[in-house]
Each structure stands twice: as structure tokens, then as C-alpha cells.
Structure 1
Amino acid sequence: MAGRWIETWEPEDETFWREKGERVARRNLWFSVLSEHIGFSIWTLWSVMVLFMGPEYGVDPAGKFFLISTATLVGALVRVPYTFAVARFGGRNWTIFSAVSLLVPTLAAYLVMEPGTSYATFVVVAALTGIGGGNFASSMTNINAFFPLRKKGWALGLNAGGGNIGVPVVQLIGLLVIGTLGASHPRIVLGVYIPLIVVSAVCAALYMDNLRPVKNDGGAALEAVRDPHTWIMSVLYIGTFGSFIGYSFAFGLVLQTQFGRTPLQAASLTFIGPLLGSLIRPVGGRLADRYGGARITLATFGAMAAATVVVIQASRSSSLPVFLVGFIALFVLTGLGNGSTYKMIPGIFHAKALAQGLDGEAAASQGRRISGAAMGLIGAVGALGGLAINLAFRQSFQTSGTGTAAFWSFLAFYGVCSAVTWAVYLRRPAPAPVPTKPQIGYAEV
């Protein structure tokens, strides 16, 4: 059983799905979630490590924002090769490798995390943790291939949400260490993750599968790059996932820098937003399955703009309770939007395949082919939104000592995302001749 390659995989065939496919797909999903969960924890490790870096480390707030920005950037860039690695090496095989590779940044951080280490060394080690961000792309591409279109919103939402929970979990572990032993023991956090990384790699080896039909398709990648929907969805994903990961990295530092919270006080609040945002991501996928991803995405961006207004007012009046309400609402909304936007991707390319005259399994296969290639690009560009958020915070705090200016820029961007979602995927098109084959409207994706 272990290490087997599945030669035939037809999830759109309801008989195949009922008799065999669903059981196999669900098993791979659960262990994919485990590996991706650990990957997210390592990727966002420095959102916790900076809380341990007191004055004795000699790193100012701008320097700390740069550390977490470095991890965000590398995590975004490696998503592209990680996407194509699944087809090249097999989903199971790559999950094993990507899990084991997390030992490198974890052990490196364990060695250097002490006062007196040069800032350049911290930057290099923070960059290494970026490989954890790549796990998301390979995991989502792999799970996308296992499930039929009608189940993708739920499956991708659960896979991503379970991975996203790695963010609040590592922050909770950091809180436990700071709360019980103080801020001088960061290595304990790192020591917790070393055996967990090994467990995730062993589980992938024992219980996951490779799909032989999933192959790299240079033509699909080129089509995805050329298709405007890839880049439109990248912009929307910057607004949802970019916000989620950027806020996850920055939340604790904002509380310390703008509201004067101690490391323990910041850590006791930091995990709440990412936890709620992660848990609700599958709900966003479910709602998108039922009502259409574009509708849920538009509603989400409108609500994110409203929450950002609340945060701006709280930032200007230095009201921590109101700030927390608005900021945590943003996390919840990014989680909903993450689920709905990722549901849109396979739906969009399936709709395009139908519009080209394909139907049945041919349309489903074409949709999977292009959406699988597009997901890596969209995930990478979306993650760069996290970098933009951290750099915006860094600049805002450097120039004014608060994050208010950064939030104004985020508000403007959410307005752009709302307009794009409506104009491209919801605005009624001009009347056209009745098609000869069934079509899926973009509002339903």
C-alpha cells in the first residue's frame, strides 16, 4: 500500500467516486492537512520569535518587520516550483520531502536564537523558514487533483484551513512558553516542532498516494500564464490570503509597537485572529459551493472594507478594545474570502472549457489541467500580498509611529478588489446567442 502510484483516477465519475475515489481522496486530504499545518507553523515561526527578541537583541521594530517580511517573500517565491513538484515527483513523495526539509530552518533557528547573533544571520535564518510557505502550493495542487469539481470548495477550504491553523498553533505554543518560563526561552518552541516534523513526514510515507494521471504540462502552465483570469484571481487572492498571512505575521508586533503591549500581553492576543480565520476558511468554501464563489468573495471584500474603517478609527483614537474587534473581524473575513476565492479558480477554468465546446469529462479534465497550473501562480502572487502588508506597516511605523497610514492603503485596495470582482464575475454580460451546450456563468464559480 505504502508508496503506491494510482494509475487511473476519475473523480467526476460518480460510480468511481462512490466505490473507491472518495475514501482514498479523504485519506490523502487528512494527511495533507497535517503536513501543510506544520509547514505554516514553520513559515510563520518568526512572528513568534520576534516576541522573544527583547532589547538585548538590539533589533528595533523596523528590523523585526523586515525579518518577518523576508520569511513572507521567500514563502511566496517558492510556491511556484512547489506547485509543479507534485506532478514531477508525486504528491506523496513530495509531501515527504517537503516535510523533512522543514528540519533545516527549525534547527538553524534553534542554533542562532540568542542575544549576540548578528542581524544578518537572523535574516538568513528567517529566509529559510520561507520553504514552509511552499508546502501550501504543493498541497493544494495535490488535493485539487483528488476531488471532483462539486467537492472542491469544501476539500480545498478544509485543506487550506487546516494548514492555516498552523499559524495560531505556533503562536499559542509561544504564548505558553512566554507565560510559564518568560521571554528568554525561544528554543523550547523550536524543540516542540522538531519531532512534529518527523511525525508528519512518516505519516505521509505511510498513508498518502501518488496519482499517475497528474503530470506536468508545460502547455497548461503557459496557458495559465497567458489567461487574464489567472492574474485577476491573483489580485483577489492578494486581498484575501495576502491579508491573512500579512496580518498573522504583523499582529503581535503591531500590538507591541503601537499599543505598548508586553511580549506576554501581545502573545495572549495574537493567536485569536489567525485561529478564527483558519477555522472559518472551510465555511467560505462551503458557502461558495452553494451560492457561488464570486458572490461570497464580493460580500467578503465589502465587509473587509468596513472592518478596516473600524480599525482606522481605533488606531487614530488609540482604543485597543475597538482595534481588537476590528482586526479580529478582518481575520475572520479573510478566512471566508480565502475559501471562496480558491473555489472560484477551478470553476472559472471549467466554465471556460464548457464555453470552448467541451463537455462532460473532457471539460472537467481541461478545467483541472489549467486550474492546477494556475493555482501555484495565484498562490505565489497572493502570498506576496503578505509581504506588501508587512512592508506597509514597516514604512507606516517608521514615518508616523502608528499603523494608520498602512490601514488606509489596505482600505483602498479592498475597494479595488470589490470593483474587480463585480465587474469581471458578477456584472451581467451583454445579451448573446443561446449556447448549444450547457454553460456555467461566472457568478456560479
Structure 2
Amino acid sequence: MAANALDALRERGFVQQVTDEAAVRAMFAAGPVVAYVGLDPTADSLHAGSLVPLMALIHLERLGHRPIVVLGGGTARIGDPSGKTELRELLPGERIDGNVTAIAKQVGRWLDFAGRSRCVNNADWLLDLKYVDFLRNIGRHFSVNRMLAAEAYKQRLERGLSFIEFNYQILQAYDFLELYRRNRCVLQMGGDDQWGNILAGVDLIRRLEGVTVQAITFPLLTTATGDKMGKTASGALWLEASRCRPYDFYQYWVNVHDADVGKLLALFTFLPMPEVKAAGGLSGAALNAAKSILAYEVTTLVHGEDEAKRAHAAAQAAFGGRALPAGILPSSTAPRSTTAAVEEIPTTLLSSGDVSRGVSLAELLVNTGLARSKNEARRLIRQQAIYLNDAAARDENHMVTAADFKKRQLLVRAGKKRVHRVLVSS
């Protein structure tokens, strides 16, 4: 192990809080550490926010440690109240089980479950618990007063906190205990909003096993303007191609705030930190090149290099682009020459009959994913944020006809950042 994992994680911006810095550093230095993060299977795909814990685990695996991914097939049946203003929808068990299967397959792209890493489902130990025994053996170690002081619960008390959600912290703490007993797991990592839940597990293990385990939390992923990162016009930035096309995924990272580029390169790429730090100080065209490389690297990580190349070529075709300078983030494998490929732009086919009759522009914007609803589409048109082959659309009732096409092709653009190609089928 060439570097202390705590220092490596801190340098890249993964560390928000640590239970005992000296103890964690010594633990990593002593040998392979078993560490876990939990992932919530409330959907059949992870999203961009999940990249933070995933990348942390990948770094640990590369440094010789032993990551565990815990899929919350049991806890998802309750719902985590952290950051929520009301009770989450309780998903059917069959749907949760399907999500667990899908996410386990997804995470297997990045972690070696046949080698150092493991993937487990907490339903394996939670669903068979006996309620009275659990209360006697585990529940008696929890103070209701202390639990109510936790931020996740405090925020919900005025609006209403259900008993089922109130149990979430106890079950998460029990996960840590179970992983310690089964795998000698001594480190839990998670988002900073999980700090109280994680400490509950640390305390439970100390009480029942007489052992001091540790915790690290990650900073919550926000933009330079304070907004939650990973949201697109159509919702969450999913990691599954069927939910978010690789081109749209790529475009998200190209268009991040200038002030976020250095942070995101550190978190979501494996590029050397001296190069990352240098890129964080760029401006103008050089900074735009760094954004393209960020987008290429993250798209390669999530969707593979072939999809990243296609998305990069499509972006150059849609928006124009210069060759990426060789001196900017030189360790990246991003193409340095111009590789415009208009055929890689997301495309919709319209029949010649539809075009002859005319297609509502508002409806077309929804069908192409450039707007979430007709109301939003009309608002974008009124704001003159929609362009048809570089001409601003001004009429919210506009009907798209053959007159809008050039050589049977129409490029529809929403703002400066999102584009879609519409073709007339022969």
C-alpha cells in the first residue's frame, strides 16, 4: 500500500468528518482495512450522488483495502428520514428485491467482487430478526433523547415523524454490528447527513463488543452555487444508460460551474492530483477544455470508453470544438484531435406525413427530452431559449413543418447546452 488511504481520500476531497484521525490513519497503515458504505435500493439504478461513496471504495480497493457494499434490501422497506420532509413511499418488497439485483450488477462494474471487495444485502440479517429479542438485546442500548437530538429526526418532529422511520437509525447501527461480527468490518463511511446514524453504530459496537471502530463521512455533493449536484432538466443524473443517455450524462459534466471543475476532477477521476490542481486554476478556453476532459473521464468511468468517445464526438458536432490541448490534464485518454460526428447527437425520427401535417413544437420538446412538460416547453419558448437550426423560436404554438428543416434535418437546441437532432424518415 503506497499511500495512507486517509491522506489519499482527504487530498481528493472525500473527507468531511472523522471519528479519530490518528486512529484511522494508524488503522490504514497497519494493514488491509475492511470498510463499508451502504447504498439505498429505492430505484433500479444509482445516480451521480452515489459516485462519491463508490469512488471512495474504489480508491480503498486500489490501495489494498477490503471494501464492502451493503445494499439496503432490508432498510429500504422502512425508508431513511435523513433530508426528507415527509414519509417516503413504502416500496413493495418485490420491487426492492429487483432494485437490489440491478444495483449489485451495476456496482460490479467498478469493484472486484471476486477479489478484495464484497457486496451484501442487509435483508439477509434484518428480515429474520425477532422483534422482542431485538428490543431486549439491541434497543435497550439506544437513548430516545439522544436519537431525537439527531438532525435527521429533529427536522421532522414538527412535520411528523413516523415510528417506522424512527427505527431506521437502530437498524443502520445494527448493520455495522453485524458486519463487524461477520467480516471484522471496522470502518463505516457515508454522507455527512448520516453522521448521527453512523455514530450510533460505533457506540453500539463499543457497548456490545468492547471494540472501538471508526467512521468517515463525505461532504454532501453541491454546486458552487449551493444547489444539490446531479440534477438535470429531466430529474436525477442516473448512472444507467437506459435512464440517462451517455450523451446527456457527458453534457452534464461539460456544463458544470467553472468553480466546481477542480473539485469534480479530484472526486470523480483518477488523474494525478498535481494535474488536477493545475486544472483548477485554468480559465477561458483552457478551462472549457478541462471540462471536456472531466466529462470524458466520468463518462468513461460510468459508461465505458466507447460511449465516452461517441459523446465527445457528438458534442463537438453539435457545438463546435477545438482540439483539446495536450498540456491540459495530459494523463487523460480523452481524444486530443477534433472528432466531430453529427450522427452521435441524440436523434428523433419524424415521418414525412407528420412533418407535412405539422408537429407541435411544445410536444416535440417533450418527446425529445428537452422539456419535462408542455408547460415547461412553452415557458422556454416564451423565454426565447429554444432554437431551431440556430434561429430562436418565438411562438409557443409553433408547428414544426418541412420549412423548419434543412436537408431533412433539424437541430433543436434548448439554451446553449442541450441539443437534439430531428430527422425526416424517408
TM more than 0.5: no
TM-score by length of 1: 0.24
Structure (1 or 2) with the greater helix fraction: 1
Q: Which has the larger radius of gyration?
A: 2
Structure (1 or 2) with the greater strand fraction: 2
- The higher relative CO (CA closer than 8 Å, separation ≥ 6) is in 1
TM-score by length of 2: 0.24
